Amino acid sequence: MIKTDFLHIHPEVAEAIKNNQPIVALESTIISHGMPYPRNVETAISVEAAVRAEGAIPATIAIKEGKCYVGLTSDDLEFFGKEKNVWKVSIRDMPYVIANKLPGATTVAATMRIAAMAGIQIFATGGIGGVHRGAENTMDISADLTEMSSTNVAVVSAGVKSILDIGLTLEYLETLGIPVVTFGQKEFPSFYSRKSGFNSPLSIDTPSSIAEMLQVKWDLGLNGSVLIANPVPKDQEVDAETIEGYIQQALSASTENNIIGKEITPFLLKYIAEHSKGESLDANIALIHHNASLAGKIAVEMKK
């Protein structure tokens, strides 16, 4: 039995839970370790507004003072965007960071778990972690995937970033029994690009049909997530070859600098953002808004 004293639910979110209103969870690693200050804080605020615009309540999730916070204040968002000593918290980091009352930004995995503790069923982010290039040697597979195999929170992302091995990530999602649905097109998207070269296992065109599928999955007792891949808007796409160039450089730099473990993903993201002169950052922000809107629509449909 989970001790609920580890949960701190923002009053607005608590009210929404009580009234069975639609809620969308949002992560904080993206704020603390995925984007530079101050655009990270501006984005965190505007993404919450995108959820509200669909008629749902946003619940940004992070860890502080020994508790899992579900719903943050604007001061919290500023803190998590600005503060340098914020832990990147995946599942395995939760007990240490909570026991020691450290500030922690939650990854997709930890955000999902905390959302589930609060009874939230849908979550929007930019990109999920997955199977890294070279994982056949490094075994670097994000805990986001294993978490998605067991926790009943659907995830809207812009597909999988090509810092990962997209083909292996799709294979692993299949192994774990996680349905992958692309919204509105047949091809699985690769974050900055609407293309990836891989067909999406499933494709659905309406938020209501996605909501129905989620309901059926969980009514069947099939635990775990559904990955809802939402292609970046056409006018915000970054050319796949341009990005591949930055990714190759970033991967070489990570090898040269001996970056391993939980540091790899933030290192690659930072490298690409710094070297692509803001183009990738603009696309990143646009697609997070786009994902938050879709998650809001699905959350609203799920409550009908």
Residues forming the site for Mn ion (CB under 5 A): 140
Cis peptide before 103 (omega within 30 of 0): no
- Report the alpha-carbon distance of residue 225 to residue 232 in Å, rounded: 21
Judged by CB under 6 A, does residue 34 bind ligand PSU? yes
Which residues, 256 to 275, sit near ligand PSU by CB under 6 A? 262, 265, 269
Closest CA relative to residue 302, chosen from 1, 7, 29, 21:
21
In which element (H, E) is residue 290 found? helix 279-302
Which residue lies nearer to ligand PSU by CB, 16 or 229?
229
Judged by CB under 6 A, does residue 29 bind ligand PSU? yes
- Please state the closest distance from residue 72 (CB atom) to ligand PSU, in A: 15
- Report the alpha-carbon distance of residue 74 to residue 44 in Å, rounded: 9
- Please state the closest distance from residue 34 (CB atom) to Mn ion, in A: 15
- Report the alpha-carbon distance of residue 95 to residue 78 in Å, rounded: 24
Amino acid at 78: E
Judged by CB under 6 A, does residue 254 bind ligand PSU? no
Judged by CB under 6 A, does residue 238 bind ligand PSU? no
The one segment of 27-35, 67-75, 204-212, 223-231 that binds ligand PSU by CB under 6 A = 27-35
Amino acid at 149: S
Token pair recorded at residue 220: 């069947």
Torsion of CA 148, 190, 134, 124, to 10 degrees: -30
The one segment of 23-31, 168-176, 210-218, 245-253 that binds ligand PSU by CB under 6 A = 23-31
Using CB distances below 5 to 8 A depending on partner kind, what does residue 17 bind out of Mn ion, ligand PSU, none?
none
Give the end-to-end CA distance of the chain in Å, rounded to a whole number: 30
- Please state the closest distance from residue 70 (CB atom) to Mn ion, in A: 25
- Please state the closest distance from residue 61 (CB atom) to ligand PSU, in A: 11
Torsion of CA 267, 270, 274, 275, to 10 degrees: 50
Judged by CB under 6 A, does residue 165 bind ligand PSU? no
Question: DSSP string covering 39-54, please?
Answer: HHHHHHHHHHHHHHHT
Residues noted as catalytic: 27, 161
- Please state the closest distance from residue 121 (CB atom) to ligand PSU, in A: 18
Closest CA relative to residue 239, chosen from 190, 291, 185:
190
- Report the alpha-carbon distance of residue 251 to residue 168 in Å, rounded: 17
Of residues 40, 43, 60, 90, which one binds ligand PSU by CB under 6 A?
A: 90
Using CB distances below 5 to 8 A depending on partner kind, what does residue 161 bind out of ligand PSU, Mn ion, none?
ligand PSU
The one segment of 91-99, 137-145, 168-176, 250-258 that binds ligand PSU by CB under 6 A = 137-145
Which residue lies nearer to Mn ion by CB, 70 or 251?
251
Which residue lies nearer to ligand PSU by CB, 90 or 182?
90
Judged by CB under 6 A, does residue 104 bind ligand PSU? no
Cα separation values, 131 from 54, 124, 137, 170, 232, Å: 32, 20, 11, 9, 21
Residues in contact with ligand PSU by the rule CB under 6 A: 27, 29-30, 34, 90, 107-108, 126-129, 142-144, 161, 262, 265, 269
